[in-house]
Amino acid sequence: MGKKRIVYAVLAGSLVLNCMFVFAGCMGSWDFSSFFQAQDQGGQEESYETGVADAASHADEIAAKLGTIDEIINNYYLNESEIDEEAMIEGMYAGYVAGLGEAYTTYYTAEEYADLMESSSGEYSGIGVSVSQNVETGIITVVNPFENGPGYEAGIRKDDILYAVEGEEVTGEDINNVVAKIKGEEGTTVNLTVYRPSTGEYLDLTVERRVVQNPTVTYEMLENNIGYIQITEFDKVTVEQMNAAIDDLSVQGMKGLIFDVRDNPGGRLDSVCSMLDRILPEGDLIVYTMDKDGNREDHYAQDADTLDIPMIVLVNGNSASASEIFTAALQDYGKATIMGTTTFGKGIVQVILPLDDGSAVKVTQSQYYTPNGVCIHGEGVTPDIEVELETGSEAATDGGTAADSETAAEDENDIDNQLQAAIDQMKTMIQ
């Protein structure tokens, strides 16, 4: 994939250089001076204040510059019939917010915001695949293709890299915008290109969209009455799904429980707090947040129910945000042994604020702190027992335990070395 992207970059660079040379050859017959008179008048540079967003105070300058850009586009843009003024204005808003240079703060059009709200509910029309994005590289990776979902049926597998949607590369694009492009009306199709690191090939796939309920929780009873619950996201539906899993495993005689939040990119703060409320004693501090003004908001367990059995939480470098809140709280209270590798380290919270026209802005509002007062942003949660995933194992490619609880426990290929280490550790804990 790296070589392919470098080739594209080189080709793009050559094209720009060639256009510049052609443009320079024609420059003598074109006069742009009238376009920039508005900016030249006065001869004074606009001053900007650091530490504040105040576009309104620069309204005259912005309007003048936009007028100049409009004139250039209307006089010289080749594909005149393709000009979409609404899209350009929405792009302007998105670009303004993107100017903050902060990966988690973004602007959503009304359509994108509606899609985001739908996906966080846990039921939507799409291809049944959850993805995560590396903030540094912008690469979008398939975390969990839902079994029996249209994406899995079309050939998408865990660890595939989503390279393009409808022929346009999506690396570096906001992950929520990419998801919005993939989702759509039931029965329609979307064309995807994925890169498979294990084989080094690019696959072009056409996937039909269907109504999908996100199975964010799968569970089964392992040997020695050890319960296993895998949580792939913290959506609205996840709370009920986890509670149902705990109840069912308890009826089956569960003596110990392994939570698997490896590759879980996070989700809703209210959902993870509700889930910890089911596990921690009433009155325990789950997490607290602190905004830029020092305002603190505490989240406490309020449910009288607790889970008083040996517990283990499996984590890795892709366990982020809500996954880390879940892990850190259980670690701080000594309720669970944490195993695996250090988590991602996203210790900040975003709030989504809708605007009057249906659009919205997601903005980083606060940092969160574990019950012991630790902010793990940029650091992650360190496991009590470190276990590196052995590469090449069967489980590393098929995502661990399958949803079919009748067969998964019997298939040794579904248990990777990290999960096996957790099972062995749990056996000693319940003895």
**Candidate list 120, 132, 319, 321, residue with the active-site label:** 321
CB under 8 A, 24+ apart: contacts of 347-353: 347/375, 347/376, 347/377, 347/378, 347/379, 348/104, 348/377, 349/269, 349/289, 350/104, 350/105, 352/108, 352/113, 352/116
Cα 359 from Cα 361, distance rounded (Å):
7
User: Which helix (DSSP H) or strand (DSSP E) does residue 153 occupy?
Assistant: helix 150-154
Gap between the Cα atoms of 179 and 98, Å rounded: 18
Residue 242 burial class via C-beta count within 10 angstroms: exposed 0-12, middle 13-18, buried 19 and up: buried
Contact between residue 234 and residue 206 where contact means Cβ atoms under 8 Å apart: no
Structural contact between residues 396 and 415, judged by C-beta atoms closer than 8 angstroms: no
In the set 115, 277, 284, 332, the catalytic residue is 332
Contact 208, 192 (CB under 8 A): no
Q: What are φ and ψ of residue 65, in 5° steps?
A: -70, -40
Alpha carbon distance 286, 82 (integer Å): 52
Catalytic residue among 158, 183, 346, 362: 346
Distance CA 217, CA 371 (A): 25
Q: Is 321 a catalytic residue?
A: yes
Cα angle 401-406-409, degrees, rounded to a multiple of 5: 45
Per DSSP, helices labelled H in 312-361 are 322-332
Single-letter code of the amino acid located at 169: E
Q: Supply the residues annotated as catalytic.
A: 321, 332, 346
